[in-house]
């Protein structure tokens, strides 16, 4: 299977299903529209999956991990050694995403798609390494086009395998020291906004560090001239391996009619690439929250996605996605378990 074939499998949503779902929501024992975004989520889930009477789905967050050569430019507050250290923390269940996944009742699957470290046979880790981290995008393309395509297909294959297992809701997660730099570069390239407008402080650099980060990204874009009409060119030149994996995860899930709950800025950058490759993919995406990262607001506006939460989050890993997945499941329970006026024998509005 190729990326093009996956994109061709993604179909427009059946709006008639959304109408039918909303009709049931309007008959529930409440004033019409009084559960707001929860009703919107339930109707969207029905339209995406085609299930008029859905069960609460099994959910999985895929946390893709990779390193970035651009860390040589001192764009992060943390050393790149933190990437493999955090991967081991995920596998032990000690990270923020693990805590919130347990709270939401979803699984976390950790994927080594490009960490500059050999984990050998660490239990629980999905070994899908394309290369040991990207190259320094400030001086050369982050990867080859073939490597970018490989990273995307890793995500497609993981989504496809999850659907075969009966997974009905997928969340995005990532880990990679330095990855807000390629995310900002992708955002600038795909939206046409200035690098200044889309570059934040990442893991906590100061304002001088942020200005340096802006200059690094500007230099990379000037050097490589990523082509926004060819999203894979953008991913190849200024992207990241975990971002590529997330692109494929979104495309593969959409092709199988499974909703994807996006995390924050890095997931948003991946969504720009995925929607660039197949605009219909956008209808299968749900934005869990609005990140503190300034570029994330630009992404959400560009994609027309309305985030469910605004909690000043900026951790990544899939933490926001877990909270969003919890809300999706709550919405499905409202839709399927709440009584209608007829069923409950309750008088309607006169």
Residues with a known catalytic role: 317
DSSP string of 47-67, one letter each residue: HHH--SSPPPPEEEEEEEEE-
Q: Identify whether the C-beta of residue 205 lies closer than 8 Å to the C-beta of residue 213.
A: yes
Token digits of residue 225:
């001239």
* C-alpha span between 149 and 276 (Å, rounded): 14
Q: 61: phi > 0 → left, psi -120 to 50 → alpha, else beta; which? A: beta
Q: What is the 3-state secondary structure (H, E, C) of 325-345?
A: HHHHHHHHHHHHHCCEHHHHC
Burial 271-305 (b: 16+ CB within 10 A, else e): bbbbbbbbeebbbbbbbbbbbbbbbbbbbbebbeb
Residue with tokens 């490759």: 277
Q: Identify whether the C-beta of residue 170 lies closer than 8 Å to the C-beta of residue 159.
A: yes
* C-alpha span between 4 and 7 (Å, rounded): 5
């Amino acid at each position: 299977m190729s990326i093009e074939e996956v994109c061709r499998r993604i179909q427009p949503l059946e709006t008639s299903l959304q109408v039918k779902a909303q009709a049931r929501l309007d008959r529930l024992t409440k004033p019409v529209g009084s559960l707001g975004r929860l009703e919107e989520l339930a109707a969207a889930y029905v339209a995406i999956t085609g299930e008029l009477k859905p069960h609460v789905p099994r959910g999985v967050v895929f946390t893709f991990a990779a390193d970035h050569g651009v860390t040589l430019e001192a764009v992060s507050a943390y050393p790149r050694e933190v990437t493999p250290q955090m991967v081991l923390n995920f596998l032990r269940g000690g990270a923020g995403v693990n805590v919130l996944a347990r709270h939401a009742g979803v699984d976390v699957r950790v994927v080594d798609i490009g960490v500059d470290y050999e984990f050998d046979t660490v239990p629980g880790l999905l070994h899908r390494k394309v290369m040991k981290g990207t190259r320094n995008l400030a001086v050369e393309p982050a990867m080859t086009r073939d490597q970018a395509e490989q990273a995307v297909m890793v995500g497609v294959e993981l989504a496809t395998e999850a659907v075969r297992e009966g997974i009905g809701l997928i969340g995005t997660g990532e880990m990679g020291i330095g990855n807000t730099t390629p995310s900002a570069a992708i955002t600038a390239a795909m939206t046409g906004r200035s690098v200044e407008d889309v570059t934040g402080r990442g893991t906590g650099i100061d304002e001088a560090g942020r200005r340096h980060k802006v200059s690094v990204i500007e230099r990379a874009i000037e050097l490589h001239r990523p082509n926004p009409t060819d999203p894979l060119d953008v991913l190849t030149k200024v992207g990241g391996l975990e971002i590529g994996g997330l692109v494929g995860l979104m495309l593969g899930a959409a092709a199988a009619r499974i909703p994807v709950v996006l995390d924050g800025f890095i997931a948003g950058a991946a969504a720009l690439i995925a929607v660039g490759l197949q605009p219909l993919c956008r209808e299968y995406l749900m934005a869990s929250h609005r990140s503190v990262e300034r570029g994330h607001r630009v992404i959400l506006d560009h994609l027309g996605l309305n985030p469910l939460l605004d909690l000043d989050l900026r951790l990544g890993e899939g933490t926001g996605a877990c909270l969003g997945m919890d809300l999706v499941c709550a919405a499905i329970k409202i839709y399927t378990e709440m009584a209608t006026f007829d069923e409950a024998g309750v008088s309607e509005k006169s």
